[in-house]
Amino acid sequence: GTGLGLGRPVAVLVSLLVVGTLAGLAQSVLLARLAEGIVLQARRDLVSRFLLARLEQVQRFRAGKLVTRVTSDTLLLREATTSSLVQLVNASVSLVGSVALMAVLDWQLLLTTLLALVVGGGLFGALVPQIGRADKRAQDAVGQLGAELEGGVRALRTVKSSRAEQRQIARVSERAEESARHAVRSAWFSALVWSVAGGGMQLAVIVILGLGAGRVALGELSVSTLVAFLLYAFNIVDPVATLAEAVATLQSGFAAAARIRETTSLEPESPQVGSPRAARAGAAGEAVRRPVDADAPVLALRGVTAGYADAQAPALHDVSLEVPRTGHVALVGPSGAGKTTVLSLLLRFIDPVSGRLELDGVPYESLSLDEVRGRIAYVEQETPVVPGTVRDNVLFRVPEASDDEAWAALAAVRLEGKVRSLEAGLDASVAETSLSGGERQRLAVARALVQPSGGAAAR
């Protein structure tokens, strides 16, 4: 009967529906995976670029700005790289298809349409870079907001004790307002682009109708061709508008990409004579195994002049210094004399302008960063804690060391009792705020006391 006759087409329709739904699902998931893959890769690249770069270059950026590069700029990249790329392709295909069909129908009307497209394209080309510029400014302001906020929270005790909360709030809010202002500007331009593209195409349809009607009256064009042509012309309004939107979104993505690209000026530290692996096996390894000249001082500065790029006079001028193999050396001088600068040189955070440094009589140029830094335990002046647990902090230089070594180091700085009193012991997480200033300093000393077993430090 009729029920059986309908069963088949209905089954076909249902299976098409299922297939279509699954395909749509797969497309969304694949797109999302692609987008997140791009974001992930960009974030990984940025994080390793920041941590591997030379100290002075990273310090030129404010911490909050680096954070927004990694967290928010990468998100803009996602928008641009996926949905708008798909839109771009889809819209281009239907645009080209419609235009080809219109060419078959009537050349003169097609030329009118193309003229409208070119004029619209010109306006569009003028507006689109504005979107990118506004977006870049908005993101820059977000970066500054991050930096201001980070600095304010870091110095919160000072801010509160100075009763400067409102001033600080105003400073941060100002950045937020600036970002909003530029974002609205960008939205304005996007809306303009969209209206110009959509409205321009509608206008072109009206012109085609007028021209076509005239030619129909002259008998040059059949009514059916004009109607067919108009249908195709209506058909390209949508793709053109979609295309405009996609290009506008892409522009925001380019702005984000440009901000991310700015960080390529951060070069990794050099010269890295030999990777850690090469240092063990290769030529650099021989330098480590070479019997140490017992007469040579452990560390030496020979006629070293060094300074900072943005300072006029060098911080150190022709400094010579030897650190003997045994005993203690104290470096004493007024504030700003250059004591920290000497340590920065010894750890190769900065390089001397002239003169040279030696470790065991071997000039620094023939040693890798690892060989130098592996020999020196450094407690920095502003003893920050490392994010993580007590164990993470104490064993930061030698993660493979045992808990016993951690306890021994803590005992040496009289922090053992304090850590034993914590419920989680070595696993207690330490925040900047949960330790007193002195405890933080002693934790840093404990970190310096844990030595790598064997290797260079055993000598």
Least Å distance, CB 304 to ligand ATP, is: 13
Nearest distance from C-beta of residue 316 to ligand ATP, angstroms: 8
CA distance 155 to 163: 12
Query: Can you tell me the distance from the alpha carbon of 313 to that of 27, in angstroms, rounded to the nearest whole number?
Result: 61
Q: What CA–CA distances, in Å, run from 222 to 105, 157, 212, 344?
A: 10, 82, 9, 85
Count of residues interacting with Mg ion (CB under 5 A) = 2
Longest alpha-carbon distance in the chain: 109
- Crossing angle of the two packed helices 74-81 and 223-262, in degrees rounded to 10: 160
Binding residues for ligand ATP restricted to 329-348, rule: CB under 6 A: 333, 335-341
- Going residue by residue from 380 to 399, which x/- string records binding to Mg ion, judged by CB under 5 A? -x------------------
User: Taking Cα atoms as reference points, which of 123, 374, 136, 164 lies closest to residue 252?
Assistant: 136
103 residue type, one letter: A
Could you say which of Mg ion, ligand ATP, none residue 400 binds, taking C-beta under 5 to 8 angstroms by partner kind?
none
Tokens 């349409």 belong to 113
Which C-beta is closer to ligand ATP: that of 72 or that of 340? 340
Nearer to Mg ion, 130 or 340 (CB): 340
Region from 143-151, 198-206, 257-265, 310-318 binding ligand ATP, contact rule CB under 6 A: 310-318
Within 366-385, which residues bind ligand ATP (CB under 6 A)? 381
Q: Least distance to ligand ATP from the beta carbon of 315, Å?
A: 4
CB nearer Mg ion, residue 312 or residue 381: 381
Bridge partners of 268?
53
Nearest to 128 by CA among 237, 238, 255: 255
The residue from 315, 390, 430, 446 that contacts ligand ATP (CB under 6 A) is 315
If one asks whether residue 9 binds ligand ATP (CB under 6 A), the answer comes out as no
Residues 149-178 that bind ligand ATP (CB under 6 A): none
- Given ligand ATP, Mg ion, none, residue 341, with its beta carbon under 5 to 8 Å by kind, binds ligand ATP
Cβ closer to ligand ATP: 146 or 338?
338
Do 259 and 110 touch, CB atoms closer than 8 A?
no
The CB-of-334 to ligand ATP minimum distance in angstroms stands at 7
Return the residue of 286, 310, 382, 423 that touches ligand ATP, per CB under 6 A.
310
If the CB atoms of residues 3 and 336 are measured against Mg ion, the closer one turns out to be 336
Find how far residue 403's CA is from the centre of its chain.
36
Q: Following CA atoms 127, 128, 129, 134 in sequence, which dihedral angle do they give, to the nearest 10 degrees?
A: 90
In whole angstroms, how close is the CB of 313 to ligand ATP at the nearest point?
8
Q: Is 352 in the site for ligand ATP (CB under 6 A)?
A: no
Contact predicate 446/394, CB 8 Å: yes
Number of residues that bind ligand ATP (CB under 6 A): 13
**Residue with Cβ nearer Mg ion (5 or 336):** 336
Our CB check for ligand ATP shows the closer of 264 and 335 to be 335
Smallest distance, Mg ion to C-beta of residue 338, A: 8
Q: Is 55 in the site for ligand ATP (CB under 6 A)?
A: no
Q: Residue 382 has which token pair? A: 């502003």
Report if residue 340 touches Mg ion, rule: CB under 5 A.
Answer: yes
Indicate the residue among 190 and 341 with the shorter CB distance to ligand ATP.
341
Helix, strand or coil for residue 93? helix
Provide the minimum distance between the beta carbon of 422 and ligand ATP in the complex, in angstroms, as a whole number: 32
Q: Where are the alpha helices (DSSP H) in 315-358?
A: 339-346
User: Closest by alpha carbon to 154, among 55, 58, 64, 60?
Assistant: 64
The residue number with the shortest CB distance to Mg ion is 340
Classify each residue of 184-209 as buried b or exposed e, where b means 16 or more C-beta atoms within 10 Å of its C-beta: ebbeebbebbbebbbebbeebbebbe
Handedness of CA 193, 196, 199, 205 (dihedral sign): negative
CB of 379 to Mg ion, least distance (A): 12
Binding site for Mg ion (CB under 5 A): 340, 381
Binding site for ligand ATP (CB under 6 A): 308, 310-311, 315, 333, 335-341, 381
